[in-house]
């Protein structure tokens, strides 16, 4: 009799534990409202096939489960969450196992800020996005209006959030030097370094049509600036700089022509 009671108790505890565990591993459902925002405002998502769209949504969900998005003197809207997560996934979409191990939190500021993360002191603040260092390690800061403009304006070549995520990707090998060693296959290493050197010379000479001059500041900035351009206006970049475009396709393993014509 006592044995039966013990067995029953054991079965009950196991069932209880299993139910609890089942709840914990239940998948977060991707909200329909997120999908609407993606369909309306994220060109990259629109260029994907149906199964790839689903994979993109799953990657976004995983990202949002692990990285906090916090508004500093501003409210984080649904649109902001979608834009941050989409910017994170776009550059590494071809790398299925990529996780942002160097990021815990994204802070959204209501405006641009200073290099010291200051908002209000009456001065002009030129910074729209930043990847933290030192005590701010694991944190990214974005200007909320710049984040939104990156997707709402569909004709320019700027996307602040993609720019910052590309810096983070670049940083995973230890240095923000424009050489993303964790993405780049060895055979493209030298062609890519040569291309960067050439562009860093051509931009200040005014021979690099349409490329933001900020890209000439350093190799790291060049890589971030040109990646914004690549993911936002691939057609235009291909037309103006076909060789550069081709190398970026190799780095990010992304063939826009194929995805668009599918
Ligand atoms: Zn930068």
Of 17, 21, 50, give the one whose Cα is nearest residue 35: 50
- 110 contact partners, CB below 8 Å, separation of at least 6: 71, 72, 73, 74, 119, 143, 144, 145
Whether pLDDT at 4 is above 80 = no
For 108, the enclosing helix (H) or strand (E) is strand 105-109
Residue 108 phi/psi, 5-degree rounding, is -105, 125
Q: How many Å lie between the centroid of ligand 1 and the Cα of residue 223? A: 9
Q: Give mean pLDDT, residues 30-39.
A: 96
| Whether the Cβ atoms of residue 82 and residue 37 lie closer than 8 Å to each other | yes
Q: What is the DSSP string of 228-256?
A: HHHHH-HHHHHHH-HHHHHHHHHHHT--H
Higher per-residue confidence, 240 vs 122? 240
Question: pLDDT at position 117, please?
Answer: 67
Higher per-residue confidence, 236 vs 11? 236
Of 154, 162, 158, give the one whose Cα is nearest residue 43: 154
Question: pLDDT at position 124, please?
Answer: 59
123-156 tens-digit pLDDT: 556 778 888 777 778 999 999 999 999 999 999 9
Q: How many Å lie between the centroid of ligand 1 and the Cα of residue 255? A: 25
Question: pLDDT at position 18, please?
Answer: 61
Distance CA 131, CA 129 (A): 7
Whether pLDDT at 90 is above 90 = yes
Q: How many Å lie between the centroid of ligand 1 and the Cα of residue 154? A: 20
Q: How many Å lie between the centroid of ligand 1 and the Cα of residue 214? A: 9
Q: Give mean pLDDT, residues 117-127.
A: 63
b/e burial code for range 169-205 (CB count within 10 A of at least 16 → b): bbbbeeebbbbbeebbeeeeeeebeebbeebbeebee
Which of the 8 DSSP states describes residue 26?
P
Q: How many Å lie between the centroid of ligand 1 and the Cα of residue 17? A: 48
pTM of the model: 0.85
Q: How many Å lie between the centroid of ligand 1 and the Cα of residue 212? A: 12
Question: Which pLDDT band holds residue 23 (cuts at 50, 70, 90)?
Answer: very low
Question: Which pLDDT band holds residue 55 (cuts at 50, 70, 90)?
Answer: very high
Q: How many Å lie between the centroid of ligand 1 and the Cα of residue 122? A: 24
Higher per-residue confidence, 44 vs 260? 44
Q: How many Å lie between the centroid of ligand 1 and the Cα of residue 12? A: 56
Question: pLDDT at position 262, please?
Answer: 33
Question: Which pLDDT band holds residue 198 (cuts at 50, 70, 90)?
Answer: very high
Question: pLDDT at position 261, please?
Answer: 35
Helix and strand counts by DSSP (H, E) for the chain: 12, 4
* Average pLDDT, rounded, for the chain: 88
CATH number for the domain formed by residue range(s) 32-261: 3.40.390.10
């Amino acid at each position: 009799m006592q044995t039966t009671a013990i067995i029953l108790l054991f079965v009950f505890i196991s069932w209880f534990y299993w139910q609890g565990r089942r709840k914990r591993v239940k998948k977060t459902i991707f909200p329909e409202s997120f999908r609407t925002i993606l369909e309306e405002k994220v060109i990259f998502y629109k260029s994907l096939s149906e199964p790839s769209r689903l994979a993109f949504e799953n990657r976004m969900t995983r990202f949002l489960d692990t990285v906090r998005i916090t508004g500093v003197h501003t409210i984080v809207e649904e649109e902001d969450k979608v834009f941050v997560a989409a910017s994170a996934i776009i550059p590494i979409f071809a790398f299925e196992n990529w996780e942002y191990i160097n990021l815990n939190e994204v802070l959204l500021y209501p405006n641009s800020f200073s290099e010291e993360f200051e908002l209000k002191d009456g001065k002009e603040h030129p910074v729209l996005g930043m990847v933290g260092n030192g005590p701010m390690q694991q944190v990214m800061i974005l200007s909320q209006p710049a984040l939104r403009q990156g997707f709402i304006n569909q004709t320019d070549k700027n996307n602040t959030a993609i720019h910052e995520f590309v810096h983070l990707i670049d940083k995973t090998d230890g240095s923000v030097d424009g050489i993303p060693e964790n993405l780049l296959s060895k055979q493209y290493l030298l062609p890519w370094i040569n291309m960067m050197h050439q562009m860093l010379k051509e931009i200040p000479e005014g021979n690099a049509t349409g490329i933001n001059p900020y890209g000439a500041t350093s190799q790291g900035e060049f890589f971030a600036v040109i990646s914004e351009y690549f993911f936002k206006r691939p057609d235009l970049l291909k037309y103006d700089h076909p060789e550069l475009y081709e190398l970026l396709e190799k780095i990010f393993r992304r063939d826009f022509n194929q995805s668009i014509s599918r």
